[in-house]
Amino acid sequence: MDKKLTFGQRVKEAFRKFLVALKRKPNIIPLVVFVVAFLFYSLNLANISDTTAKIQGAGMGLVGFITMLFSMLSMVCYMNAFPHRKPVVWPMLILHIVMDGALIFCDFYYRGRIIAALTRAESPIEITPATAYIAKAYNMLNTHMIILIVGIVLLALLPLYSKLIRSIKTSIEVEGSGNLGEIDISAE
């Protein structure tokens, strides 16, 4: 006869199951951060596109394209770097880190093109309510870089906090399991 669990017991059990899953694959934590960075950039792509069209700086369109491409490819490399129940595939992990570095470089480059367009001597671009997307793109690039750096730091610290996560006790004490008698498996 099953006992009905209270809401608190169900929440506790769900949290325990989450911890068990996290103990098996702690590399999910940086992956979530990289997915957030990708979604953040993707959902703000309209501001990047409008800024590229308005400023028309050297290489701005290419840098935006490279950022989208490397964002997707870096996540694929990351997922292939940590196969299920196998050791880390180092070439894929290194490729992921290189792509993250390229993403940060592209964000710096694009920011530099925005600053150059706003501060140039001849006909600088002014930020008005009609061109507010330029300021939004600039702020979005700063936030995107911060999210990427947080993901890289979490990736670098993965061996440390994975040991801490694995040390958390998630086993369940079952009633009556300590006083089991000898089991007779002989043929009758």
How do residues 100-124 score in pLDDT, each as one tens digit?
999 999 999 999 999 999 998 888 8
Report the alpha-carbon distance of residue 62 to residue 110 in Å, rounded.
10
pLDDT at 135: 95
pLDDT at 12: 87
pTM for the predicted model, two decimal places: 0.84
pLDDT at 53: 95
How do residues 169-179 score in pLDDT, each as one tens digit?
877 776 655 55
How do residues 116-155 score in pLDDT, each as one tens digit?
999 988 888 989 999 999 999 999 999 999 999 999 999 9
Report the alpha-carbon distance of residue 37 to residue 79 in Å, rounded.
15
Q: Which of 65, 59, 54 is nearest to 118 (CA)?
A: 54
pLDDT at 92: 97
State the average pLDDT for the chain: 90
CA 135 to chain CA mean position, Å: 25
Which three-class secondary structure string do you get for the chain?
A: CCCCCCHHHHHHHHHHHHHHHHHHCCCHHHHHHHHHHHHHHHHCHHHHHHHHHHHCCCCHHHHHHHHHHHHHHHHHHHHHHCCCCCCCCHHHHHHHHHHHHHHHHHHHHHHHHHHHHHHCCCCCCCCCHHHHHHHHHHHHHHHHHHHHHHHHHHHHCHHHHHHHHHCCCCCCCCCCCCCCCCCCCCCC
pLDDT above 70 covers what percent of the chain? 91
